C-alpha cells in the first residue's frame, strides 16, 4: 500500500520532471502481469518495470525484512495513505522489500540515492526534482 502511495504522488509530478529534462521510471518487485492494475490504482503513466528477482534492489543496496515494516512511523504513513484514498491491494512480489529513489544523469552519473529505512520512508519529491538540475545528493 505504501509503495502505491509513493507512486501515486510521483504521478502528479510527471510534467515537472519532464520540464526539467527528467523522466520517472518505477521498478517493482512483482510480476509484469500486475503492472496494468498498478497503473490503474496509482494513475502512473510513465515507465514501469517488473523485477520479481529483485536484482535492481540488490544492486542498489535496498533493504528488506519484517523489522523494517513494523513500528510507529510505518503505521503513521499507512494511516495517512489510507486517509488519502490508497487501499491495500493484492501483494505483488516480496512484501518485505523496501525501496528507494535514484536520480541518474546522462553518462551514468549518480546524482541522488535514497534508501528507505522503514516502510513508507519516501524521499521528498522536491529533492528528486532538485537532483535533476542541481547535481544532487546521496544519502
Q: Which domain holds residue 122?
A: 2-138
Burial of 42 (0-12, 13-18, 19+ CB in 10 A): buried
Contact between residue 57 and residue 29 where contact means Cβ atoms under 8 Å apart: yes
Q: What is the pTM of this model?
A: 0.73
pLDDT per residue as tens digits for the range 66-99: 656 666 675 666 667 667 766 566 656 666 788 8
Nearest to 76 by CA among 33, 47, 119: 119
Nearest to 135 by CA among 116, 107, 95: 107
Q: Supply the pLDDT for residue 88.
A: 62
Distance between CA atoms of residues 125 and 137, nearest Å: 13
Q: Supply the pLDDT for residue 129.
A: 94
Domain count, the chain: 1
Q: Supply the pLDDT for residue 119.
A: 76
Percent over 70 (pLDDT), the chain? 75
Nearest to 88 by CA among 37, 47, 131: 37
The CA R_g of the chain, rounded to the nearest whole Å, is 14
**Is the pLDDT assigned to residue 60 strictly greater than 70?**
yes
Sheet architecture: strand order including 100-105: 100-105, 109-115, 137-138
CATH number for the domain harbouring residue 108: 3.40.30
Amino acid at each position: 500500500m505504501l509503495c502505491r502511495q509513493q507512486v501515486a504522488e510521483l504521478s502528479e509530478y510527471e510534467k515537472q520532471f519532464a520540464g526539467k529534462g527528467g523522466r520517472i521510471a518505477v521498478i517493482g518487485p512483482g510480476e509484469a502481469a500486475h503492472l496494468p492494475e498498478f497503473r490503474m490504482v496509482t494513475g502512473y503513466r510513465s515507465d514501469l518495470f517488473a523485477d520479481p528477482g529483485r536484482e535492481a534492489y540488490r544492486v542498489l543496496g535496498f533493504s528488506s525484512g519484517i523489522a523494517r515494516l513494523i513500528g510507529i512511523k510505518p503505521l503513521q504513513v499507512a494511516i495517512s495513505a489510507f486517509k488519502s484514498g490508497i487501499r491495500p491491494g493484492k501483494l505483488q512480489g516480496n512484501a518485505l522489500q523496501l525501496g528507494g529513489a535514484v536520480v541518474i544523469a546522462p553518462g551514468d552519473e549518480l546524482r541522488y540515492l535514497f534508501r528507505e529505512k522503514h516502510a513508507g520512508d519516501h524521499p521528498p519529491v522536491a529533492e528528486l526534482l532538485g537532483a535533476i538540475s542541481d547535481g544532487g545528493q546521496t544519502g
